[in-house]
Structure 1
Amino acid sequence: MNFKAVIFDLDGTLVNSIEDLGDSLNEVLRNYNYPTHSYEAYENFIGSGIRSLVVKALPENQRDEAQINRSFDDMMHVYRSQCTNKTKPYEGIIELLDQLKARQLKLCVLSNKADEFTKKIVQNIFPGYFDSIHGLSLEAHKKPNPIKAIEISKNLNIKPEEIIYIGDTGIDMQTATNANMYAVGVLWGFRSKDELKNTGAKYILEHPLDLMKIL
């Protein structure tokens, strides 16, 4: 297949953002005198957007709609000023992006992270690399709904089957499959090889530059 574009997930794929997410949400939890969580716990919480992350982090007996809304608003406020404190690209990502750009592939980001933070992080860490950046604006469009991936395909005027979709979770593999794109899982993120394979990964990367073997 002659691939013409690559869509990347953000957290766990392009960048390790777990410390900024965990630090921000733990600050919110402490303000309510709720138990906090380790970075390892947050690795299992992320993948479905910030609202879902907040729900999972709250004590089970404090997950009424009002408290979820308050905590979500607090998290958005705190994370807004902290989302690039410790977040950094994984080893080999910049080199991969350079090689893909040299081959003139179109590069995009599609994340379940709020659109505001997705754009801020990508523009801060990867200036000039991506043709478009898409975070979550509507809960109904959350991955594995393929609607945004298909929209990216149409905007690029590139067929879905000519696009590689790269992510670190089963949600990403399902999104790629639902959009009829080539699903590629990565092992440096937050989910296991088994999860990726069982949810549709057609290829697994142990290092970012392994992608060049497909191309």
Structure 2
Amino acid sequence: MMEVTTQLREQIRAIAFDLDGTLVHSALDFTAIRHELNWPADTDLLQRLQAIDSEHERAMADAVIRRHEMEAAHKSYILPGVLRCLAQLQQQQIPTAILTRNMRQATMHMLERLQIPIQLVLTREDCAAKPDPAGLFKIAEHFSVAPSELLYIGDYHFDLTTAANAGAVSCLLLNEQNHQFASMADWVMTDYDSLARALIS
């Protein structure tokens, strides 16, 4: 993992965040979704959804996933320090974005209900789902920065792999369940106050 050096701090010109588990706590229960759909425990929901040949069966599965996403969005709550950190980033004129595998309706419901001020939001309707790097390339282009000048913060291996695939800098937000992914990240942070201290002079 990289140390937060002055050189690396100056390299970061924009920041993108995952959503669930990174900016907000979400009650989205992937196990319950797989159980309801009768899909194996290790199934990637979005990949399996796209692989369904029958349009009717795909629509039914999509409806189940979307229902669970909206239920989770209603129950979500913001993680400690997020709003304070985002305000500090705005004061420093560091542009921010979200790249999530969530659907747009649930994403926007969370952002509006929790009043999270993010400038650019990309969901699975806007680009190929992670770990495809297309979303980070779009974000870098939107902010007129190189992918290597973009920091992507997440809580899961999909996020770190996506950053690596894009040539972006990755940061893992540690929690009780994801320490095994720490070696994949360029940075590791335990809370948003530590992010602000690292990036804001």
How would you bin the TM-score normalised by the shorter chain? 0.7 to 0.9
Measured against aligned partners, the alpha-carbon deviations of 1:72-91 in whole angstroms (never above 9, x if no partner) come to 313324643x3432101111
Q: Which residue of 1 aligns with 2:29?
A: 22
**Correspondence list, 1:178-189, <5 A:** 178-188=165-175
1:76 aligns with 2:66: yes
Q: Which residue of 2 aligns with 1:146?
A: 133
CA distance in 1, matches of 2:21, 2:120: 19
CA distance in 2, matches of 1:22, 1:155: 32
CA distance in 2, matches of 1:159, 1:208: 24
- Residue 70 (structure 1) shift: 1.8
Give the SS at the match of 1:166: strand
Alignment partner of 1:194 out of 180, 186, 196: 180
Measured against aligned partners, the alpha-carbon deviations of 1:47-77 in whole angstroms (never above 9, x if no partner) come to x6x646989xxxxxxx996656423313324
**Correspondence list, 1:43-122, <5 A:** 51=46, 69-77=59-67, 79-80=69-70, 82-122=71-111
CA distance in 2, matches of 1:67, 1:137: 19
- Residue 22 (structure 1) shift: 3.1
Q: Which residue of 2 aligns with 1:124?
A: 113
Report the CA distance shift for 1:143/1:68 in structure 2 as closer, same or farther (over 3 A): same
TM-score (normalizing by structure 2) = 0.77
Q: CA RMSD in A?
A: 3.1
TM-score (normalizing by structure 1) = 0.72
- Residue 178 (structure 1) shift: 1.3
Alignment partner of 1:177 out of 154, 164, 168: 164
**Unpaired segments ≥5 residues, structure 1:** 35-40, 56-62
* Amino acid paired to 1:136: R
Q: Which residue of 2 aligns with 1:8?
A: 17
Residues 105-114 or 158-167, more deviating = 158-167
CA distance in 1, matches of 2:198, 2:13: 12
Measured against aligned partners, the alpha-carbon deviations of 1:102-131 in whole angstroms (never above 9, x if no partner) come to 21110100001123322222233234x211
Q: Which residue of 2 aligns with 1:38?
A: none
- Residue 142 (structure 1) shift: 1.1
Alignment partner of 1:164 out of 151, 162, 175: 151
Q: Which residue of 1 aligns with 2:3?
A: none
- Whether the aligned pair in 2 keeps the contact of 1:119 and 1:134 (CA below 8 Å) is no
Q: Which residue of 2 aligns with 1:60?
A: none
Report the CA distance shift for 1:90/1:53 in structure 2 as closer, same or farther (over 3 A): farther
Measured against aligned partners, the alpha-carbon deviations of 1:175-213 in whole angstroms (never above 9, x if no partner) come to 111111110001137x4222232xx30111111111124
Measured against aligned partners, the alpha-carbon deviations of 1:137-158 in whole angstroms (never above 9, x if no partner) come to 17x7111111111111011111
**Unpaired segments ≥5 residues, structure 2:** 1-7
